[in-house]
């Protein structure tokens, strides 16, 4: 149904309201019609060139398109370009130790850039972006990686061992060996950074793991109790709980602090684990290798160098090479 508008004789749809408002039947402008036509033709061309039209519900049951394009083929083409750039670096670091990589400025810069992605995918969930750690209501649950306080030493080889083999240190519970009064005294001394100020530190054999000065031992992964840097929390109550129930001790009230082995998980290649070790080292808390960084000793002094050479494997024992536990 159509009608003529009373004011100008223009054809309308016949729909009138408020006495004089009507819908005209004018055609759209030619430019608009041309754009609509071009758009329709573009849709047809797109559907013919790219995989588009489903044929049935089965897998791969769609038109493949005249261009034989797939998202996977495009990704592989882009990846081949990236691999071509990376190949010279990857080939070079394949046979190098993490310490040797650190000695090559160009390789170190490459690893710092590529390691960022690896760290984000595999480590940041626990240790946070840039190694800032993660906390729960009871304190730090994943340690900082960007300071210079390390339980097992911050040498590059120790960091690599932590990533590859994991760390699973253990502090035994002392709830049956200490009274509440003794727990309170010892915890307050540790909270003040003066564990040796109470005879209990020696009497209860704390020195066996934490050393006679309370500064810990890298070979055992025991923490430094004098530096006011804490694996969990600095409160007296938290310190008492750790002493009482232990860490990874099997006690249900103890704290858990386990670094998984990426080698055992089979998730990362050897090269990837080296990259992560260098990347973590470059956060700023890494420490120089005590042996590798020293010049070669003359033959007559080789005996003197032996103790240092045997110290590193012990420091890389499979516990947790993260700061303060």
64: left (phi over 0), alpha (psi -120 to 50) or beta: alpha
Average pLDDT over residues 208-228: 89
In three-state secondary structure terms, 120 is helix
* pLDDT at res. 4: 54
182 has pLDDT over 90: yes
pLDDT digits (tens, 9 = 90+) for 26-41: 888 999 999 999 999 9
Say how many C-beta atoms besides its own lie within 10 A of residue 53's C-beta. 12
The order of strands in the sheet holding 21-24 is 3-4, 11-17, 21-24
Average pLDDT over residues 208-221: 89
pLDDT digits (tens, 9 = 90+) for 183-199: 999 999 999 999 999 99
Q: What is the DSSP string of 185-241?
A: HHHHHHHTT-GGGSTHHHHTTTHHHH-TTS---TTTTPPPSSSS--SS--SHHHHHH
18 has pLDDT over 50: yes
Q: What is the DSSP letter of 152?
A: S
Lowest-confidence range among 33-37, 54-58, 140-144? 54-58
CA atoms of 153 and 221, how far apart (whole Å)? 8
322 has pLDDT over 50: no
Predicted model pTM:
0.66
275 has pLDDT over 90: yes
- Alpha-carbon torsion (299, 305, 310, 315), positive or negative: negative
Residues in the chain: 325
Mean confidence (pLDDT) of the chain: 82
∠ at Cα 278 (273, 280), nearest 5°?
Answer: 95
Question: Could you tell me the pLDDT band of residue 46, with boundaries at 50, 70 and 90?
Answer: very high
Say how many C-beta atoms besides its own lie within 10 A of residue 146's C-beta. 17
Percentage of residues in the chain with pLDDT exceeding 90?
45
Residue extent(s) of CATH 1.10.760.10 domains in the chain:
86-167+258-315
* pLDDT at res. 295: 42
| CB-based contact 317:169 (threshold 8 Å) | no
Question: Could you tell me the pLDDT band of residue 75, with boundaries at 50, 70 and 90?
Answer: very high
CA atoms of 223 and 209, how far apart (whole Å)? 9
Beta bridge partner(s), residue 171: 247
* pLDDT at res. 119: 94
* pLDDT at res. 9: 67
**Nearest Cα to Cα of residue 276 among 260, 262, 290, 293:** 262
Specify the fold of 86-167+258-315.
Cytochrome Bc1 Complex; Chain D, domain 2 (1.10.760)
Lowest-confidence range among 66-80, 102-116, 262-276, 299-313? 299-313
Percentage of residues in the chain with pLDDT exceeding 70?
85
315 has pLDDT over 90: no
CA atoms of 97 and 99, how far apart (whole Å)? 5
């Amino acid at each position: 149904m159509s009608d003529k508008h009373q004011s100008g004789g223009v054809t309308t749809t016949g729909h009138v309201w408020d006495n004089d408002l009507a819908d005209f039947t004018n055609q759209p402008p030619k430019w608009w019609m041309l754009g609509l036509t071009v758009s329709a033709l573009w849709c047809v061309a797109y559907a013919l060139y790219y995989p588009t039209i489903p044929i049935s519900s089965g897998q791969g049951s769609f038109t493949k398109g005249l261009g034989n394009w797939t998202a996977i083929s495009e990704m592989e083409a882009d990846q081949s370009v990236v691999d071509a750039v990376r190949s010279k670096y990857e080939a070079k670091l394949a046979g190098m130790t993490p310490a040797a990589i650190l000695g090559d400025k160009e390789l170190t810069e490459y690893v710092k850039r590529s390691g960022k992605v690896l760290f984000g995918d595999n480590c940041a969930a626990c240790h946070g972006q840039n190694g800032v750690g993660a906390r729960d209501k009871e304190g730090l649950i994943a340690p900082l990686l960007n300071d210079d306080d390390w339980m097992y030493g911050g040498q590059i080889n120790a960091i690599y061992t932590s990533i590859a083999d994991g760390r699973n240190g253990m502090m035994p519970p002392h709830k049956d060996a200490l009274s509440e009064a003794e727990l309170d005294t010892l915890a307050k001394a540790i909270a003040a950074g003066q564990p040796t100020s109470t005879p209990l530190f020696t009497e209860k054999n704390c020195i066996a793991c934490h050393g006679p000065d309370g500064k810990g031992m890298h070979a055992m992964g025991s923490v430094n109790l004098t530096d006011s840097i804490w694996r969990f929390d600095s409160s007296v109550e938290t310190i008492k709980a750790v002493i009482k129930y232990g860490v990874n001790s099997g006690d249900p009230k103890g704290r858990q602090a386990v670094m998984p082995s990426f080698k055992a998980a089979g998730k990362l290649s050897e090269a990837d684990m080296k990259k992560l070790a260098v990347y973590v080292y470059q956060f700023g808390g890494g420490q120089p290798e005590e042996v590798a960084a020293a010049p070669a000793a003359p033959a007559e002094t080789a005996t003197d160098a032996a103790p240092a050479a045997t110290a590193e494997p012990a420091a890389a024992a499979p516990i947790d090479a993260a700061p303060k536990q």
